[in-house]
């Protein structure tokens, strides 16, 4: 004998029920899809954490070292503009002292030579004048004589003077004077010296 089947009454799903079922299935499918992704992300995070803990820490310390090696030693070299000669003639000394023309004549020819350079002869001596004595006058030799008049100048008459003259030669032993031009310069004493006409004795000044 077969048992008769119990027939259940047929029921139809409403639209709302269908929507709920579909939504539930969608959520369940999303969860099932996301689970492997979440597992993979957790595994990757653990791996990175392990690598960070095992990575050595690099420490950079700046080292700055400056050692100056520049050394400047100034060297001053002074070269003399003129080397004194061991000895000079009277014309050489006076020429150097007043920076006259280098091509100078003998002392006896200085009368016209000085005038050509703008010097003037005077009958009264003054300090700094150039004394010019012609050849064989007042004790001078055949070449004549030149020197520079120094202080003091003393009048011994109406037109005669006693004076000291700086040069390299003179009527007597002179007092040596240190000079940058020549090594044999001295002051010589001249007594009763007077200017004489016709270019025999003259005192020249600028």
The predicted-structure confidence for 121-138, as pLDDT tens digits, reads as follows 988 899 999 999 999 998
Alpha carbons 119 and 34: distance in angstroms, whole number: 124
Domains of the chain, residue spans? 15-45, 90-205
pLDDT at 8: 42
The predicted-structure confidence for 55-79, as pLDDT tens digits, reads as follows 555 554 555 555 655 555 655 554 4
The verdict on whether omega for the bond into residue 102 sits within 30 degrees of 0, i.e. cis, is no
* Ranges under pLDDT 70 in the chain: 1-13, 34, 36, 38-41, 44-45, 47-85
pLDDT at 201: 95
pTM recorded for the entire structure: 0.59
pLDDT at 59: 56
Q: What fold does the segment set 90-205 form as a domain?
A: endopeptidase fold (from Nostoc punctiforme) (3.90.1720)
Alpha carbons 159 and 194: distance in angstroms, whole number: 6
């Amino acid at each position: 004998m077969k048992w008769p089947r119990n027939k259940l009454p047929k029921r139809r799903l409403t639209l709302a029920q269908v929507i709920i079922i579909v939504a539930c299935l969608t959520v369940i499918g999303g969860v099932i899809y996301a689970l492997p992704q979440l597992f993979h992300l957790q595994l990757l995070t653990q791996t990175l954490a392990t690598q960070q803990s095992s990575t050595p820490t690099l420490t950079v310390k700046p080292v700055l070292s400056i050692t100056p090696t520049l050394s400047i030693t100034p060297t001053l070299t002074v070269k003399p503009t003129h080397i004194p000669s061991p000895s000079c003639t009277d014309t050489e000394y006076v020429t150097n002292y007043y920076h006259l023309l280098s091509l100078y004549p003998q002392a006896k020819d200085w009368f016209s030579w000085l005038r050509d350079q703008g010097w003037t002869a005077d009958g009264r001596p003054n300090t700094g004048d150039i004394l010019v004595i012609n050849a064989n006058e007042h004790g001078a030799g055949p070449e004549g004589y030149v020197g520079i008049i120094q202080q003091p100048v003393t009048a011994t008459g109406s037109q005669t003077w006693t004076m000291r003259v700086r040069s390299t030669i003179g009527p007597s032993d002179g007092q040596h004077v240190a000079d940058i031009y020549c090594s044999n310069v001295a002051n010589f004493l001249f007594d009763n010296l007077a200017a004489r006409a016709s270019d025999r004795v003259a005192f020249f000044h600028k």
